[in-house]
């Protein structure tokens, strides 16, 4: 009997808060972003009047225009203007060298950071899984970056790599090398793309290891011990145990971690901002390592030009398309390679 009961009213009551919030903050934004991305020269705002003043509130609720006006009543109008519908926002961002640089930078960061983090994470997990003493201590240490503030520790990395007196340069000098202009100029030389990217990647790996180690280790601990005992009886060498038992049996976790890391790396933003103290690069080239997300937020912040919001939406959609494509390709690959 219970299987056929209908709880529609109870369900509506229970789902009401979530549905309401999602309607405003999830579903509406999806529609709004897609629509705006295709509106060329978009502008939106509200006319207001309080009797003798009339003003124009823009998209962000900021008064951009105000003039005295003798009016008998309150006038509140709503306008939304655009020049036309089309791919104008998309073509303009693809012509924008900053956006192209953002695409290139993001792609490089993803290609460098994801494999390094996944491989190091895997090796550390295997090492951790093979020891008994101090396992808990090491596990706790490796997890620390996860519970720290991204901005705070990004600032720390910029101090570590400071050219004047950072730990890294002091160490290089003590070893007999000469100082490097990592992210701040040194001895007349400005930091290069390579050194800036290097510092960012070290921070990204540092920040990303914790989660991967946690997932890999809990995956390994659920692998049946019989496989390892069988390998031990046959005195199989360690690397063969790793490639023939651990990796195949861990492949669902590896696939999961790779997909989530790719998505996370494509959304890089806070780490860049933190390392360069609010910019996307060293002072000599403040947009050097701008990312797609950074570009999107920059366009969002510029209120002077009505075209910018449409471009922000277009750029966010490009990011979404890239993430979708990568996810689909990875799922397709993992279907072939993953052993369940």
Partner 1 sequence: MDQELMLTEEELRKYKIKKTFANIGIYAFLVIFALFIIIPFYWMLATALRSEAELQQTQISFFPKDWVFANFRTAIQYASKQGVNFFKVFWNTILVGLFTTAGTLITTVLAAFAFARLNFKGKEVIFSIFLATMMIPGEIFVISNYATISSWGLKDTYIALILPFITSVFYIFFLRQTFRQIPNELYLAAKVDGTGDFKYLWKVMIPMAKSTITSITILSMMGSWNAYVWPNLVSGKNHLLVSNGLLSVYKDIDGTGTILSLQMAAATMVTIPLLIVFLLLRKQIMRGVSRSGIKG
CA distance 35 to 25: 16
CA distance 206 to 200: 10
Query: Of the two residues 120 and 247, which places its CB atom closer to partner 1 in the complex?
Result: 120
Query: Of the two residues 70 and 340, which places its CB atom closer to partner 1 in the complex?
Result: 340
Which runs of E-coded beta strand occur in 17-92? Answer: 39-40, 43-49, 53-57, 63-68, 77-81, 84-85
Query: Which residues, in sequence order, are bridge partners of residue 160?
Result: none
CA distance 126 to 121: 9
Query: Of the two residues 2 and 72, which places its CB atom closer to partner 1 in the complex?
Result: 2
Query: Of the two residues 6 and 72, which places its CB atom closer to partner 1 in the complex?
Result: 6
Query: Of the two residues 15 and 111, which places its CB atom closer to partner 1 in the complex?
Result: 15
CA distance 117 to 123: 10
Residue 25: CB minimum distance to partner 1, A:
5
Residue 312: CB minimum distance to partner 1, A:
5
Contacts of 76 (CB under 8 A, 6+ apart): 46, 47, 48, 49
Residue 291: CB minimum distance to partner 1, A:
11
Residue 108: CB minimum distance to partner 1, A:
19
Q: What angle do CA 152, 98, 197 make, to 5 degrees?
A: 45
Query: Of the two residues 70 and 151, which places its CB atom closer to partner 1 in the complex?
Result: 151
- Tokens (6 digits) for 314: 């277009």
Residue 183: CB minimum distance to partner 1, A:
13
Contacts of 321 (CB under 8 A, 6+ apart): none
Residue 76: CB minimum distance to partner 1, A:
12
């Amino acid at each position: 009997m219970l299987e056929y009961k209908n709880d529609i009213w109870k369900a509506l009551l229970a789902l009401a808060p979530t549905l309401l919030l999602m309607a405003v903050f999830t579903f509406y934004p999806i529609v709004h972003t897609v629509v705006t991305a295709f509106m060329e020269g978009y502008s939106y705002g509200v006319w207001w009047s309080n009797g003798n003043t009339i003003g124009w509130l823009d998209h962000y609720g900021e008064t951009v225009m105000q003039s005295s006006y003798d009016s008998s009543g309150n006038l509140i109008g709503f306008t939304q203007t655009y020049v036309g519908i089309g791919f104008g926002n998309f073509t303009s961002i693809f012509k924008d060298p900053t956006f192209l640089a953002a695409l290139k930078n993001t792609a490089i960061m993803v290609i460098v950071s994801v494999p390094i983090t996944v491989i190091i994470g895997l090796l550390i997990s295997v090492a951790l899984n093979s020891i008994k003493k101090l396992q808990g201590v090491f596990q706790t240490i490796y997890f620390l970056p996860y519970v720290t503030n991204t901005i705070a520790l990004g600032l720390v990395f910029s101090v570590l790599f400071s050219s004047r007196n950072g730990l890294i340069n002091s160490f290089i000098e003590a070893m007999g090398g000469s100082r490097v202009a990592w992210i701040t100029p040194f001895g007349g030389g400005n930091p290069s793309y390579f050194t800036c990217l290097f510092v960012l990647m070290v921070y990204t790996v540092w920040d990303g290891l914790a989660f991967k180690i946690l997932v890999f280790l809990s995956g390994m601990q659920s692998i049946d011990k019989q496989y390892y005992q069988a390998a031990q009886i046959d005195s199989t060498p360690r690397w063969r145990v790793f490639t023939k038992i651990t990796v195949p049996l861990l492949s669902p976790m590896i696939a999961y971690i790779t997909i989530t890391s790719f998505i996370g790396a494509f959304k890089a933003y806070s780490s860049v901002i933190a390392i360069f103290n609010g910019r996307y690069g060293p002072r000599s080239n403040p947009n050097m390592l701008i990312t797609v997300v950074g570009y999107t937020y920059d366009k969002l912040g510029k209120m002077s030009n009505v075209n910018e919001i449409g471009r922000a939406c277009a750029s966010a959609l490009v990011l979404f398309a890239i993430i979708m494509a990568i996810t689909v390709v990875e799922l397709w690959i993992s279907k072939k390679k993953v052993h369940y």
